Structure 1
């Protein structure tokens, strides 16, 4: 003990030194981890919303819109905008939109290249719950969230009106349109035509698709100039195409007599406003980009605010009269935009610097806290070390004192052990003497029984009773012999009587003793012998038989119905010595490891609910040890329980075998064979009272059957679960149940039966071998009607059964005469049952189709269960109660209403007045008319 204490002190000292040396290293690692986390969290994408923009083209007008969208997005925190350009390619734009769908953007902005190909793709995004804003160009569907753009029809109409005014209602025009499939080109042309159609003298020479591109406009204009010698005005759907047309005309030196008009009016060099100032274009019309407006509506949609579904941007003409002013304004706006961009860059730098300083500040604060914590830990460690040293010193003194006390207690336990052993030996001597005293009267009982069994004049019942007595006398003799043999073994006076026998033949004969129980429990019994093997061995035949029978009977006891028992006989070699090994395996509930450790101890039982003295396996172990053998047990849920016995072929004390001995199994068959269980599945007579017997001992069930079967129908159940099932099926008049049963015991069975609606009224008699008042009180608290102690007198049992049945009959008569459904039953469950049944009859009394099936369904019972329950409570069938209730209701109506007999007949559920009168007279002894005359009421005509 002192050595252990020194080792403990050394360990604590090393542990505290280790903590002090490694604290700084751990703190450094923690600081690095925190700084890394703060740095990564600073870089973390904090975007609230992701917006995808799919542009159809890559031109100046689109660039201006994109810049406006990005600039406006800077005014909203946590917004990320990603722009993809299709470059006038439908397939490319379709891939871009699917990219945004798969990325699960929060909102999609689409400028469709052409309406027809893009419509289904935009609809797919919209149907998947992504808000879609269509800009500039529309699709051929209304499945979008919002539209932002100019009214191209109105722009075309405005251009037409401007040209008509310029030509003063007379002249020729050539039109260069955008991509023919795009909605702006279609709408602009239609608006233009609606304006010039009012002027018959204005002629549209041609309309050519230039696809919004300058080089295509040049090619188309070359063809137009070749075909038409005079063209007053060229109308192009954008400034790029108008500039291309001008260059083509200039190349052919025809630009002087022709005016060129475009749409867009973008600021910047070689763009719309600049081309007007340079006299390239006669005029251009503002086609607003509206990127800032698009972004504003997008944020309203994402933030669940109200927004307009259609946003139409206005237009205006830019010509030589206002072009210079427009240029000054746009230059000023461009300058301001540069300044804003510079300010945004500086703000971003300031925010980054602020975030970095914030991280450094927090990190420094955390480092200070960690250092403070480190010093606190160091101080506490030193304090703890000093405290532990004091406590260990104190504990050392306590351990020394405890050691002295334990030594004293050890001496006391040794003395107590000696006293206990002496007391145990005294008890065993007492049991041995008692066992000797039992053998004489048992022998005197057994012999007269054998003589009586030889009497041919005995009845069948008398024969069965004597066989039962003989069997139980043999069982008592076997138990007495086991106690005596066990006592001899403990005293060292039990000796081996060795003989040489053929184990394979003997085992096969001993197996025959279990044929009856195999049939009764439907067990699959397998006996395997290693072929071509000599099993002649030197053993004590009587003791080996006791080993085999004890193990095999134990297997049958714990194997359920339809289970499997497998006996295997073979030879093995252990340490160069030849052994016989036999195993007995059975299916069923596994034995826990705790029980396996103690299973061979004397008086130990794994299951208190099963019969047995608790010395059978202890005696088996003793007999195996006497043979210098070995016995083992294994058990699990998959394989069941397996007992393995190894016995040497030769015994040291055996000199020479004089004979080959085998033992007859007739005596053992008497001890272990049980009569087949008598079962009944149907009640033969409806008028005969029924008794249900619940007991795990088939002999007790058979004995009670013999006592009662002359007067009652007897049903048997081998355990509480089967008893409840049969009770609910047959509704017996009395139930007799044992208390100690495997699984569900008798008290639990009683409690459940008294708690079920179908069986709560049935009297229950409990059989017990225990006379404790506590157990009786528990039984009565759970609804038992009577207790009978074992061994019981047959006259007491039969008399008690008759009294309970007669008492129940008197109760049924009380409920069944003139008090039907009016008095309270004997228990609350029956009270609720009757009240519900009465209510159902009263509610459906006028329904002529109301029957027992309907009532049973409403009560939650089958027709048969309802019939038996009502019959048991009232002595009436349910249909009789229904008819009587209707008749009583009719009698009350006749004396308290002015209704005719026919009306009353239908009111209470009868379908025929004549049948009603017949039933009324049978029950009350007078017809309805006679009753009315008797009480002085005249029936109306």
Structure 2
């Protein structure tokens, strides 16, 4: 059966075929059918082990729209798409008439049946009994339930033959059980007298044709498996072509007179099947080779296209790079020109600064002489005992500012020292409170004139520290001048003198103050 299906499927390589073998186990076969239905197969072929147990599953599949082909053994229902199988009733009748011919229409016959409840076993027995009814002297003396299994025959048949030694012929429902019956007969010494008829007539080692040709069986009834016809019918159903619902296959007797011709035909069919399979393998190999070559061609085309695309990208990149290089060369030339211009401007600025420094240096020397001449009479006035306290205070203020102007002139001269890197810090210990009070006193009158509250606070009466008075006074005077400049009328200025817990905190605070001064200097022109 399976060989016939595979032979027919060889013409249709695109059909997917799945076969499950229950090994004559009805419960297992039910589970297999349920599994196939869950897979939603396009078509289901069932060869029932027993008619009754598979009927409900076949009906369920047919009712849900799945085409069902019943193969070889019928179910008890006609709810199926198609049936393909041999005429088991005719097989039984033909076996009965052939037995009558062998025995001269008289003798004793023993029947070995298949599984009870299976349609082939029931129909073959019925046909065999109908045929024997036409021969009154041909008696059916006993039956053995072989269940389609040779082992069951070997176990039961010896006792039945011993009970019926008069048996002349055995009708066995398939060739495999017939071979087991022949082995039992030979063991009992009945091999030369007992004639055996089997059913199936298949080719191949240990099958019916070989058994008949070897003399183990007198004859076998050809029972077409229907594998080829089942596949043909299935494909017609799937292609929505007309098909026969009942496909009953014929039978014939194969004995020593025609077994040679049957074997020859079978061998030719097998060789043709091998040729077909070889051609199919070659075709598949050619298809694989074509697919491989097509893939190679596609890859080459893709590579060529990729190379063209990469070439275009490279050409475009090269063109873009040339354009960028020309732009960069122009920019480099412009930068070089600007750098040269900046160098020229820097040189001009240096010369201008040098000229300014010389001017301020000369100007400073010119200022020192008159300031010194002013300071002399002021010193004499301070030595006059006739001055009032207020006059002495004002003259002292004039002296301090004159000295301040001399210091500023000295600072102008220090620019030249800074330029040549000879400016030195001359630090000495002094009272920082007195130093700040002396610098802040000239600003107090100006603050009162503007209505600004001026206050100098010291955390301690004296704070001794090392500092360069010539440098520190510039810093403090600049801070006081800016404070007075940017404080609105009716405002308040407080100068606080206190020691720092850590020197780093003082530097940090001075940095914050300087930052605020820069901010004021930047925002001041805009009126903020």
Q: Using structure 2 for the length normalisation, give the TM-score.
A: 0.59
Within a 5 Å distance, the mapping from 1:171-320 to structure 2 comes to 171-320=107-256
Q: What is the aligned counterpart of 2:299 among 363, 373, 384?
A: 363
Q: What SS does structure 1 have at the residue aligned with 2:20?
A: strand
Between the aligned partners of 1:311 and 1:152, the Cα distance in structure 2 is 13
1:112 corresponds to: 48
Q: What is the aligned counterpart of 1:96 among 5, 9, 32?
A: 32
Between the aligned partners of 1:264 and 1:174, the Cα distance in structure 2 is 19
Q: What is the aligned counterpart of 2:308 among 361, 364, 372?
A: 372
Structure 1 pair 305–388 and aligned structure 2 pair: CA distance change class (3 A): farther
Q: What SS does structure 1 have at the residue aligned with 2:57?
A: helix
User: 1:152-202: CA deviations, max 9, x gaps?
Assistant: 111111111211222332211100001112110011111111111122221
Between the aligned partners of 2:169 and 2:138, the Cα distance in structure 1 is 11
- CA apart distance, 1:306: 1.1
User: 1:410-445: CA deviations, max 9, x gaps?
Assistant: xxxxxxxxxxxxxxxxxxxxxxxxxxxxxxxxxxxx
Of residues 331-340 and 202-211 in structure 1, the stretch that sits farther from structure 2 once superposed is: 331-340
Between the aligned partners of 1:150 and 1:105, the Cα distance in structure 2 is 26
- CA apart distance, 1:220: 2.5
Q: What SS does structure 2 have at the residue aligned with 1:350?
A: helix
User: 1:813-863: CA deviations, max 9, x gaps?
Assistant: xxxxxxxxxxxxxxxxxxxxxxxxxxxxxxxxxxxxxxxxxxxxxxxxxxx
Between the aligned partners of 2:261 and 2:13, the Cα distance in structure 1 is 36
How many residues align? The count is 327
- CA apart distance, 1:389: 12
User: 1:302-324: CA deviations, max 9, x gaps?
Assistant: 11111111111111100111112
Q: What SS does structure 2 have at the residue aligned with 1:85?
A: coil
1:157 corresponds to: 93
2:279 corresponds to: 343
Between the aligned partners of 2:12 and 2:266, the Cα distance in structure 1 is 25
Structure 1 pair 92–139 and aligned structure 2 pair: CA distance change class (3 A): same
Q: Using structure 1 for the length normalisation, give the TM-score.
A: 0.34
Between the aligned partners of 1:271 and 1:68, the Cα distance in structure 2 is 15
**Structure 2 residue 11 is the aligned partner of structure 1 residue 75:** yes
Higher-Rg member (1/2): 2
- CA apart distance, 1:383: 6.5
Within a 5 Å distance, the mapping from 1:437-456 to structure 2 comes to none
Gap runs ≥5 in structure 1:
1-64, 391-941
1:127 corresponds to: 63
Between the aligned partners of 1:80 and 1:298, the Cα distance in structure 2 is 12
- CA apart distance, 1:387: 9.5
- CA apart distance, 1:113: 0.6
- CA apart distance, 1:77: 4.4
- CA apart distance, 1:104: 1.3
Within a 5 Å distance, the mapping from 1:916-931 to structure 2 comes to none
Between the aligned partners of 1:175 and 1:263, the Cα distance in structure 2 is 12
- CA apart distance, 1:270: 2.4
Between the aligned partners of 1:84 and 1:379, the Cα distance in structure 2 is 64
- CA apart distance, 1:379: 4.3
Between the aligned partners of 2:147 and 2:69, the Cα distance in structure 1 is 24
RMSD across aligned C-alpha pairs, in angstroms?
2.2
Contact preservation (8 Å) 2:10, 2:276: no
Between the aligned partners of 1:312 and 1:85, the Cα distance in structure 2 is 23
**Structure 2 residue 21 is the aligned partner of structure 1 residue 85:** yes
- CA apart distance, 1:95: 1.5
Gap runs ≥5 in structure 2:
327-528
Using CA pairs below 8 Å that are at least 6 residues apart, which structure has the higher relative contact order?
2
Contact preservation (8 Å) 2:93, 2:124: yes
1:920 corresponds to: none
Structure 1 pair 364–214 and aligned structure 2 pair: CA distance change class (3 A): same
Contact preservation (8 Å) 2:70, 2:82: yes
Between the aligned partners of 1:386 and 1:309, the Cα distance in structure 2 is 82
Contact preservation (8 Å) 2:221, 2:251: yes
- CA apart distance, 1:74: 2.7
Contact preservation (8 Å) 2:154, 2:184: yes
Contact preservation (8 Å) 2:109, 2:139: yes
Between the aligned partners of 1:267 and 1:348, the Cα distance in structure 2 is 29
1:142 corresponds to: 78
- CA apart distance, 1:386: 8.8
User: 1:493-528: CA deviations, max 9, x gaps?
Assistant: xxxxxxxxxxxxxxxxxxxxxxxxxxxxxxxxxxxx
Between the aligned partners of 1:101 and 1:116, the Cα distance in structure 2 is 19
Between structures 1 and 2, the one with greater helix share: 2
